[in-house]
Amino acid sequence: MSENIISIKDLHVHFPIRTLILQRTIGIVKAVDGVSLDIKKGETLGLVGESGCGKTTIGRAIVRLNDPTSGEILYNGKNILDSREEDVKKHRKELQIVFQDPYSSLNPRHTVRNMLQEVLTVKMGMSREDAAARSDQLLTQVGLSPIYGLRYPHEFSGGQRQRVAIARSLALEPKFLVCDEAVSALDVSIQSQIINLLMDLKDQYGMTYLFISHALNVVEHISDRVAVMYLGKIVEQAPTEDIFREPVHPYTQALLSAIPILSGRKQRERIILKGEVPSAANVPSGCRFHTRCPYAKELCSQVEPELTEVAPGHFCACHLVNGEV
Ligand code: SF4
């Protein structure tokens, strides 16, 4: 688990705010604002943070659903943002995403078997016979009877639809899967079934996951490492056990103080942050967390802290933790 499958370098994804009538640009939403991140082959990286912090935008940029403003996304060492047309097609197969609401990404007019067979024949070049056999196999692998292939998307429950969406991604034999709040809309018992399925498939197919979620207990269960985002930036990144046992960034401490304590871990005092998350169209100067941080000093509003290694594999962007204030 040492080679990076994805390396994000100084990624910016900005969206212009335009007036309705003349389409004049009156501002910029800095959804992702200078993120660098490595994801090792075979690992699951959990990406957490409040709504609007930019985590989904990163996932969508990796699978080319968003066009970055600047920066690089290296897939197996090659920048996918300036790839040739044939490489883009290959990347689109190998880099897949599973969404929170699979219903919107499934064609309501096709049975599941037709949908899978179309993917297998058109995108994987299989014969109709092979595609039929493979679609039954895929349904079995995600825990559905092949007979379910005759159903339409609306005839499934939420958990079953998510299994179908996973089967469709698997049909393309992905190397890297972005799970964007993939279990957030499901009941807790169904959530754990889908998590177990994802973990089994990962071992079976040797995949790598970027697991985006606000459900911290799920992230702790599934991830090897965790990165925490605040307002378009990574503020802390560490192996899962380290970050959940001893978060060092004040934002991570507040975030993790909200989850129930498991036995054997020190009881944390609940930290309630004051105020709202500032707008990504009006990012605070210096440390972008300073408007809500209980430890903010003068320097914090003036100078942006660097992401610095504070322990082996544990990175944090905070002047206080880095001993600068
Ligand atoms: Fe808080 Fe300052 Fe650290 Fe930012 S740099 S998290 S404001 S102490």
Average pLDDT over residues 238-245: 96
Residues 64 and 162: their CA atoms lie apart, in Å, by: 21
Confidence at residue 207, expressed as pLDDT on a 0 to 100 scale: 95
Query: Which residue in the block uniquely carries the two structure tokens 């003068």?
Result: 298
Residues 55 and 165: their CA atoms lie apart, in Å, by: 21
Contact 226, 212 (CB under 8 A): no
Average pLDDT over residues 165-184: 93
What is the distance in A from the centroid of ligand 1 to the CA of 255?
Answer: 15
pLDDT band at 188 (very low <50, low <70, confident <90, very high): confident
Domain 4-102+152-240 has CATH 3.30.2350.10: no
Most informative mutation of 319, 321, 322, 324 for ligand 1 (most atoms within 8 A of CB):
319
Contact 234, 202 (CB under 8 A): no
Please tell me the total number of residues recorded for the chain in this structure: 325
Which protein residues touch ligand 1 with a CB less than 6 Å away? 250, 287, 289-290, 293, 295-296, 300, 305, 318-320
Average pLDDT over residues 158-186: 92
What is the distance in A from the centroid of ligand 1 to the CA of 287?
Answer: 6
Contact 95, 5 (CB under 8 A): no
Confidence at residue 238, expressed as pLDDT on a 0 to 100 scale: 98
What is the distance in A from the centroid of ligand 1 to the CA of 252?
Answer: 11
What is the distance in A from the centroid of ligand 1 to the CA of 304?
Answer: 9
- Specify the ligand 1 atom closest to the Cα of 300: 2
What is the distance in A from the centroid of ligand 1 to the CA of 289?
Answer: 6
- Specify the ligand 1 atom closest to the Cα of 288: 4
Q: How does strand 44-48 pair with strand 25-40? A: unpaired
Q: Give 51-93 pLDDT, tens digit per residue.
A: 999 999 999 999 999 999 999 999 999 999 988 877 888 888 9
- Specify the ligand 1 atom closest to the Cα of 295: 8
- pTM score, two decimals? 0.92
Residues 173 and 98: their CA atoms lie apart, in Å, by: 14
Average pLDDT over residues 156-182: 93
Evaluate if residue 139 carries a pLDDT over 70. yes
What is the distance in A from the centroid of ligand 1 to the CA of 15?
Answer: 27
Average pLDDT, the chain: 92
| Domain coordinates in residue numbering, the chain | 4-102+152-240
What is the distance in A from the centroid of ligand 1 to the CA of 290?
Answer: 6
The strand ranges marked E within the chain are 4-18, 25-40, 44-48, 70-75, 78-79, 95-98, 176-180, 208-212, 225-230, 233-239, 308-311, 314-316
Residue of minimum CA distance from atom 3 in ligand 1: 318
Confidence at residue 265, expressed as pLDDT on a 0 to 100 scale: 65
